[in-house]
Amino acid sequence: MRNQKLGSFIPYLIVTLAVVSLIFMNFDTTTKKLTYAEYVTLLEQNKVTETNVTVSTVVIKLSGKVKDGTTEYDYTLVIPNTEAQNNGLMDKINASTTTVKIIDAYATNPYVDFFINFVPLLLMGGLFFFFITRMQGGNNNKAFDFGKSKAKLEGDIKVRFNDVAGCDEEKEEMMELIDYLKNPKKFAKMGARIPKGVLMVGAPGTGKTLLAKAVAGEADVPFYSISGSDFVEMFVGVGASRVRDMFKKAQATAPCIIFIDEIDAVGRQRGTGLGGGHDEREQTLNQLLVEMDGIGDNAGIVIVAATNRPDVLDPALLRPGRFDRTITVSLPDRKGRAAILAVHARNKKLADSADLVALAKRTPGFSGADLENVLNEAAILAVRENADTITMHHLDEAIDRVIAGPAKKSKTYSEREKKLVAYHEVGHTIVGLMCQDSDMVQKVTIIPRGTAGGYNLMTPREEKFLLTKTDLIAKITGLLGGRVAEEIVFNEISTGASSDIEQATKIAREMVMSYGMSDLGPIQYEHSGANVFLGRDYNATRSYSSQIAFEIDKSVRALIDEGYEKAKALILANRPLMDKIVEVLMEQETLTSEQIQNIVEGKPFDTPVIEVLPA
């Protein structure tokens, strides 16, 4: 783009140089510079036919024509004024047959004067215009385009449903939009009205934008992409103007898709701002509602929006006729994670030993973006080690880096600290091994990562859609295993359990206040997992009395105590096994689930695992 802008000024530069050369260049290439003696000799021989004399106070400039036989040429000569007077040059000129013409030395050429006085102003004006144009940048920053839409029109989208994995049900819902965009008459004939708007809700990184692009790619229609924050400006009315312009452009290119990312930036509930509403945002939202109402049924325009905060959206956006359909894009399950890894591994050089199915089992709760990041980190590690392929070792290390950060191998422990960290992590491991409802241990390490002195990777034995009270207490038990191990072995506690205690307390409080899993009964005292919307929830009052608050605290403490006592009983019953695992961990620093299982079975920790294939 910059080269194109500079190239547009090249013709003007050429014209300017041509004008300068026309004015200052002497077109006659036969002009000859004479010395004073040569000129006097030619003058005495009457070969000088024309003489133009320009007299100034310092020099005398002579020019004219010389005819020497059949040769005729122009000449020029400059001599000091004093020398000409002392030698009687003017008398010699007058005595010859040359034609004399006296020129005023102080007379000026009006064309040259005009050029000298006007061209600098012209150049300054041109430079000023050039820099103003460069400062304005794109079209949206120009004064007359301030209210124009910032939606980017993307055509010839290469993304297809084959590039989107882990959300099969969501793709089935979006297939109707593709069929409608390709053949809208089929729906109109049946009397069906396709949804004007589809709201995709899900955690960050689950593939909402990718899914919207895949719909446009499959349907082969224009795709307008814009963020909710692109509508809002400090000037009231600009956002509404941009909404009108966006829908106007969409109607001209229908059928098409309008994708609004992070719609909660402009679609928040009206009248909830502290100290009053936000006029610009609310006017923009009002205009968006009006434009969506103005789209005729089956007009060929589908609005797809994405957000991870559906709780703050204005109810008017979600009524039928606007965003008719809400699609929840959830985190992928084990099968979905394996499919996502297969998609992102297309351009990766994986070793034959790299098992993506096993990798999917070790990454519960990972989004599609997280899984792509795991493969990318593994590829970077392989390049760093100058490896030919990406091995399972690189993939395991990439998971650890994504979860807890890079290993700090240069950080040194004292022997006591290292032992304390080892017992802490193995305390979690013992609970995971001996409690059937707890998570499974995949890896334990005492190599520091991030702010953690050690790291214990535990994954669910099976992925569940619902969690029971037993499952949640088992999670609390597993989280408290590290603290219990510290107390039993060292009769001391450390700050290493702070994150575990935080998570355990959060689970226990949600069990009491949101899930009704306590003696207080099935009453919800707090919304589970809902982020506070400051304008709406700032002045919200507590819906229970101080007596109930006291009972809530007692119930939370009872759940924590129950998990603590279970963890203590398991660790005391398996103290010899814990000591044996700690001894190997202190030496190896990292143990996998297979190595831990070998220790449990009384085998050497590095015994190869032989898989028994079904007959």
425 is catalytic: yes
Q: Are 443 and 590 in contact (CB under 8 A)?
A: yes
Q: In what order do the strands lie in the sheet with 32-33?
A: 32-33, 71-80, 59-68, 48-55, 99-104
Token reading at 560: 């924590």
What are the start-end ranges of the H helices in 348-439? 356-361, 368-384, 392-404, 415-434
Task: Tell me the one-letter amino acid at 271.
Answer: G
Token reading at 561: 């105590």
> Active-site residue among 425, 526, 594, 601?
425
User: Does 608 sit behind a cis peptide bond, omega within 30 degrees of 0 on the bond before it?
Assistant: no
CA distance 175 to 198: 12
CA distance 65 to 100: 11
Short-list 305, 301, 353, 350, CA closest to 327:
305
Token reading at 359: 């990798």
CA distance 191 to 603: 70
CA distance 134 to 146: 16
Name 591's bridge partners. 444
CA angle 418, 424, 429 (to 5 degrees): 120
CA distance 164 to 318: 26
CB contact set of 570 (below 8 Å; sequence gap of 6+): 430, 431, 434, 435, 477, 481
What is the bridge-based pairing of β-strands 152-154 and 99-104? unpaired
CA distance 149 to 226: 9
CA distance 349 to 525: 52
CA angle 522, 528, 529 (to 5 degrees): 170
Could you give the angle at which helices 208-219 and 168-182 cross, rounded to 10 degrees? 30
CA distance 294 to 278: 24
Token reading at 586: 């202190």
CA distance 463 to 198: 29
Which sequence positions are flagged as catalytic? 425
